[in-house]
Amino acid sequence: MKKFIIARTPKLVFAAGGITEVHNIVSQFGKTVLIITGGSSLEATGKWDEIVRILNHGDIVFYHTLLQGEPTPEFVDATTDRFREKDIDVVLSIGGGSVLDAGKAVSAMLTQEVSVTEFIEGIGAKIHDGRKRPFIAIPTTSGTGSEATKNAVLKRMGANGFKKSFRHDNFVPDIALIDPELTISCPAQVTAACGMDAFSHLLESYLSPRANPMTDALAYSGLGMLKDNLVPACTSGTDNVDVRAGMAYAAYLSGIVLANAGLGVIHGFASVIGGFFDIPHGVVCGALLCSATKKNVAALAEREPEGVGLEKYARLGALFSGKPYRAAEKAVLADTFTEIVYAWTDLLGIKRFGEYGVEGPDVDKIVEKTRSRDNPIELTKQEIREVFVERI
């Protein structure tokens, strides 16, 4: 067995109704908390009022700020400038992946006096020293896995736009509180996009050349849970807390494995597309999942038919179809998995890029910047182009 390293993970509190523990969790770090939420969806569910009541029952002082859309360097800088002198003991984010990333970045930048841009990979030249305020992550969607990772993805739109990470080993949340009940109000379309994001994390990490026995076990477990719960979470089981718990579990594991095994061409595309177009990250990943799977399987069957990549696709074909795995049927099982991914993409209504204004002239600039990353096989530029063009 080759050497491998697993990064630290948060202390995890996983419980339906676990939001009632928020006061006890916050008070472990102090009495003053900055809470970051997104939009008004939390308030509409009544959960925000419940959280306020719980905190007001004790001696917690809290400040509250809203994030609209995805976190930008400007949001992080403005928020830290506003609250740096408030003696914040702990930052708490309640929301989707964007909100969690925003809180992660704010908790790290409350200790600094410069713009977060100075520390963004590929943009700034400084290295963060790792100091931060304690950070608590409470996801209300099941997809990004941000509650388990050390990086915050920040975005700037425009011709020179980017979508890049701000990361440090110390940025892993101190506590992840996962309450599946908080995801029940998540609309089907959002649930589908987030679920396909988690699917792509688990799949690409499982297939990564940097995978190891531990990430394989976690990814396979998450994929099995996702197989049983993603479609129901978007259709007949939207109000079923057990279905939502299965998706929350899969999403959390997706964060752990992506942090330790890496991601493939789907996320190579996502980091580029996110800088040019205002398309939800989950939609980008969901749209590409089927075409990337088809292209990877074909390339592996042609160039590495005896390699581990095709075998893993075959094992997933067996898992998702309920058929037994037989080595002699690897190619058939891998194709079966591809067919299932296409069927799910259609069933869940994942939009194509053309619906967001992506056109033929955009192809060259996107393909040129896209890398295969930790893909199970190195794709040619022509193969990468074909993955993208199919989904316009």
User: Where does residue 115 rank: exposed (0-12), middle (13-18), buried (19+ CB within 10 A)?
Assistant: middle
State pLDDT tens for residues 235-269: 999 999 999 999 999 999 999 999 999 999 999 99
Question: Considering the chain, what is the average pLDDT of its residues?
Answer: 95
CATH 1.20.1090.10 in the chain: give the residue spans.
188-389
Find the mean pLDDT for residues 279-286.
95
CATH 3.40.50.1970 in the chain: give the residue spans.
11-183
For residue 46, the model assigns a pLDDT of 87
pTM above 0.75, yes or no: yes
In CATH, which of 1.10.10.10, 3.40.50.720, 2.60.40.1730, 3.40.50.1970 is domain 11-183? 3.40.50.1970
Fold adopted by 188-389 = Dehydroquinate synthase-like, alpha domain (1.20.1090)
State pLDDT tens for residues 123-150: 999 999 999 999 999 999 999 999 999 9
Query: Measured between alpha carbons, how far is 295 from 8 in angstroms, rounded to an integer?
Result: 34
